[in-house]
Structure 1
């Protein structure tokens, strides 16, 4: 088993696997690969897998197996993991209408960083992000890592309502709000893409381990794609 990995008990029928000491695209890719492997090796023993930045929670059926057996399966999967790089994972493009109209904090963020609004847009959209985790709300994907030039702390006073599709930054993370909700992230644009649709065949367009690139679009294209302001 890799030296950076270790397994701990997380409850009566749960084990948590730590694959690194801190988050990184490479560690996130290993978390995803381990999950794929365990789905195959555990089969009906598996109840659920919950990935996070650098760990994987494994929930199993105690009537079908025990902690020792599941631990051995996990160790075997860890030994057989292929060499994982940050480039692994599906690439998903998310269209974004960046503007002060669609992103209330775009101008203030630019001023605080000594940049123009266009420079903020260029920096945010020129790189790929890794989906580290999905939480807070269904479809809320935590993406990293934001360039330090535009990284910004959460707002001191969260908004009572952030619109669906809002693209935002908090520290070195970025995300798209899947539904209208309270929130304290810095808003820089809005996407027409639905990040969670319970009626769709695939409810979420992104999954842990995927890579995301934001694609700037104009106001007309945003509205034509179903966005609203």
Structure 2
């Protein structure tokens, strides 16, 4: 896989109230893969500081949501704890995230936008596959559905807005892009991303020790495979409905 990005400059964080028991900590103003070591370091520092008083901590592109137990501390105390934890913060190692290789069957039948994006750029679908699978992506955040990771950054030329009318059903394993993000649908659900292909990899499994395959900071590379290989891996070749 490619080398990790260089570190960004240290963040200047600020806090915002989002509920009687939750605060948003804003570390950066823009999305940048180089911010991830700081986000991960802040995540670790806050988990350690809050301990059992922490209900949930959700890292994202530029922020962390801190959900704390109001029976244990007031918002004033929570703000002080955050300030204490993040003062003098140092970035986490750029090697913290795990590496994943995800086999993908890129095909019009399961990825209707593959041809549309190729036509827009004036290239063939093989070129779109080469570009999408030709770089590593950083898992910035988990959300939308269990195991669903928002990843980036997609090559600027491939950036494509979400569909104006979302599909009612997108198959589990569908690989898509929206603007400069890419993601894999962890389960069948509605969705408006531009679908390029499908993987048979299970992203969310309650029987695994770690039920979500991805976590923030992980690095992902897609590997094109044939229809036959996809079927051998247990993939579902049912065509994706247009709408």
Q: TM-score, normalised by structure 2?
A: 0.86
Deviation at 1:61, TM superposition (A): 1.2
Structure 2 residue 221 is matched with structure 1 residue 221:
no
Aligned length: 228
> Matches of 1:85 and 1:188 in 2, distance apart?
33
Deviation at 1:76, TM superposition (A): 2.7
SS at match of 2:49: helix
SS at match of 1:149: helix
Structure 1 moving runs of 4+ over 4 Å? 84-88
| Structure 1 unaligned regions, length at least 5 | none
Q: Which residue of 1 aligns with 2:25?
A: 17
CA spacing shift, 1:84–1:114, aligned 2, 3 Å: farther
CA deviations on 1:121-155 (whole Å, 9 max, x unpaired) are 11111111111222221122111111011111112
SS at match of 1:32: helix
Structure 2 residue 194 is matched with structure 1 residue 186:
yes
2:89 to 78, 81, 94: 81
CA contact under 8 A between 1:35 and 1:49: conserved in structure 2? yes
| Structure 2 unaligned regions, length at least 5 | 1-9, 238-243
> Matches of 2:91 and 2:204 in 1, distance apart?
32
CA deviations on 1:56-99 (whole Å, 9 max, x unpaired) are 01111122222233223222322243235766422222111112
Q: How does 1:27-66 map to 2 (within 5 A)?
A: 27-66=35-74
Q: TM-score, normalised by structure 1?
A: 0.91
* 190-199 or 68-77, which deviates more: 68-77
Computed over aligned residues only, the root mean square deviation of the Cα atoms, in angstroms, reads 1.8
> Matches of 2:234 and 2:210 in 1, distance apart?
19
Deviation at 1:216, TM superposition (A): 1.6
2:215 to 203, 207, 220: 207
